């Protein structure tokens, strides 16, 4: 019985952690959008948008980091 209670407490703590983290992330994103958002006179062309090359390099970086972390590319 104590294991079930401990599991429920752990599950509740995990849920609280996820809710707090999601709230903090949402508030940080909203603050960033307010701080770095486009001014009223600025057009979409003036914003920095990632090029297809940047998107490809970011995807390659994620694959490289995953491969090194799992040992797939690390040789272990």
Give the domain ranges of the chain.
Answer: 2-38+50-70
Percent of the chain with pLDDT over 90: 14
Contact between 38 and 46 (Cβ < 8 Å): yes
The rounded mean pLDDT for the chain is: 79
The residue assigned the tokens 């600025």 is: 42
pLDDT of residue 16: 92
Confidence at 36, pLDDT banded by 50, 70, 90: confident
Distance CA 6, CA 2 (A): 6
Q: Which residue has the higher pLDDT, 13 or 40?
A: 13
pTM value > 0.75: no
């Amino acid at each position: 019985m104590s294991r079930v209670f401990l599991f429920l407490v752990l599950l509740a703590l995990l849920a609280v952690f996820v809710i707090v983290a999601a709230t903090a992330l949402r508030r940080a994103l909203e603050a960033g959008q307010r701080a770095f958002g486009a001014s009223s006179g600025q057009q979409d062309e003036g914003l920095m948008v990632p090029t297809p090359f940047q998107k490809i390099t970011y995807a390659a970086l994620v694959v490289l980091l995953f491969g090194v972390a799992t040992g797939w590319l690390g040789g272990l």
